Chain A
Amino acid sequence: VPQLTEDEMAEIKKDVLTRLRHYLCDKIRAERHLDFLRSRRILTRDDAEEISCRTTQTKRTAMMLDMLAENPRGLDALTDSIREMRSQNFIITKITDEVQKAKNEKIETLKAAASS
């Protein structure tokens, strides 16, 4: 089985944030995570303010997800923030299963490329 690089892993996480966008916008309230993400230096004060300015719940979360997708540690930090709250652990299951799926697809692609 081919080993994945850090860069490939970052691509996978970005892809997972896109795939789960609809689900996460529905389940996550951005404002609950801003302080944690700022303390981890994933978001700046400006980022947090820009998110808070959006008019609806969904728009705030969507914008936060866009920013997280641009950071290789974005998904990890969001996962940690969700764990910190201890009330939405089912979202962790959803995220990690989707990462496993994306990883498996990537491994299949690499295998196919190696054998052709």
Chain B
Amino acid sequence: ERSVKVSLLKEPVVRRLCEVLDQSSNKGWRKLGEIVGNDRRFKVSPDDMEMCSLKVLQPEGSPSRTLLKLMGERGCTTGHLMDYLQTVGNAEALQCLKPP
């Protein structure tokens, strides 16, 4: 459902999506953040990106989770997120959002 807010995604979906985005090196969270950064609606700043990246220093820390939370707070919907993941070219991440 494209109109569902990212902030309302179910925890197992978010967890799976974060695992995929944290573990894809060239089409992971950083690429997603750069693309969202170019979108005027949800503007992700270099400071935001740095804040996300620092999470990796904690054992359970996930840059992807922090980025998705930030996008959710700014009103991003699942539809927007799917478009971004399409641009990133991460089919596995996109699959996490498709209904089973």
Chain A residues within CB distance 8 Å of chain B: 1, 3-6, 8-9, 13, 75-76, 79, 83, 89, 92-93, 96-97, 99-101, 103-104, 107
Contacts and interface: CB of A to CB of B under 8 A. Distances in A.
Interface residues of B, number: 16
A103 B56 CA distance: 8
A96 B60 contact: no
Interface stretch (B22-30, B74-82, B90-98): B22-30
Per DSSP, are chain B's interface residues mostly helix, strand or loop, or mixed? helix
B23 A107 contact: yes
B63 A89 contact: no
A114 to B, nearest CB: 15
A8 B28 CA distance: 23
Contacts of B22: 100, 103-104
Interface of B: 19, 22-23, 25, 28, 30, 46, 50, 53-54, 56-60, 63
Nearest to B47: A89
Contacts of B63: 96, 100
Contacts of B53: 92-93, 96-97
Given A1-B19, A92-B50, A97-B30, A6 B59 contact: yes
B57 A79 contact: yes
A33 to B, nearest CB: 17
A3 B60 contact: yes
A61 to B, nearest CB: 21
Task: Pick from B23, B30, B58 the residue with the most CB of A within 10 Å.
Answer: B23
